[in-house]
Amino acid sequence: MGYILRQCHAEYDRLYIQDKLREMNPHMLEVVNMIRPDGDVEIPQETVEGFQPPNCETCGGVLKPDIIFFGDNVPRARVEAVKDSISQSNSLLVLGSSLTVFSSYRIVLQALEENKNIAIVNIGPTRADKLVKIKISARCGDILPKIC
């Protein structure tokens, strides 16, 4: 996953940005040792205030991850690409999603409409549990090594 800036569309490799973050924020390395088993970390306020984010090297703007944030719209071209992929596939495997958000749920609806085989692996209930024949309630990290 690259990081992208919306204004100038420059993209950077994720690992390149990670190195930049380390270089610009050596004081944050101590935070790595404070990560709890559940992945949470309590960061002192003075450490947060001293954080320096890298800017776009092309335009100097703010970088943001190339992901869709909750409440944002999935770009039309990406929606169409997913629709085409579903139509060209014979099955759909949903991993680690509750399918609560309609943009993901509609992928399952399309696959159902096109009579694709559908399986879901998710640790909790999903919006499509009653619509599919195969639902495995488990951690993806436990299941994937067994089927790959």
Question: Which of 3, 56, 121, 126: binder of Zn ion (CB under 5 A)?
Answer: 56
* Contact between 44 and Zn ion per CB under 5 A: no
Nearest distance, CB of residue 57 and Zn ion, angstroms: 7
Nearest distance, CB of residue 59 and Zn ion, angstroms: 3
Cα radius of gyration rounded to whole Å, the chain: 20
* Contact between 58 and Zn ion per CB under 5 A: yes
Lookup: tokens for 126: 């999903």
Question: Which of 44, 50, 53, 61: binder of Zn ion (CB under 5 A)?
Answer: 61
- φ, ψ at 91 (rounded to 5°): -155, 165
Lookup: tokens for 45: 């306020």
CA 13/CA 141 separation, integer angstroms: 25
Residue 45, Cβ neighbours under 10 Å: how many?
Answer: 7
22 versus 64: smaller Cβ distance to Zn ion: 64
Please give the residue ranges that form the binding site for Zn ion (CB under 5 A). 5, 8, 10, 56, 58-59, 61
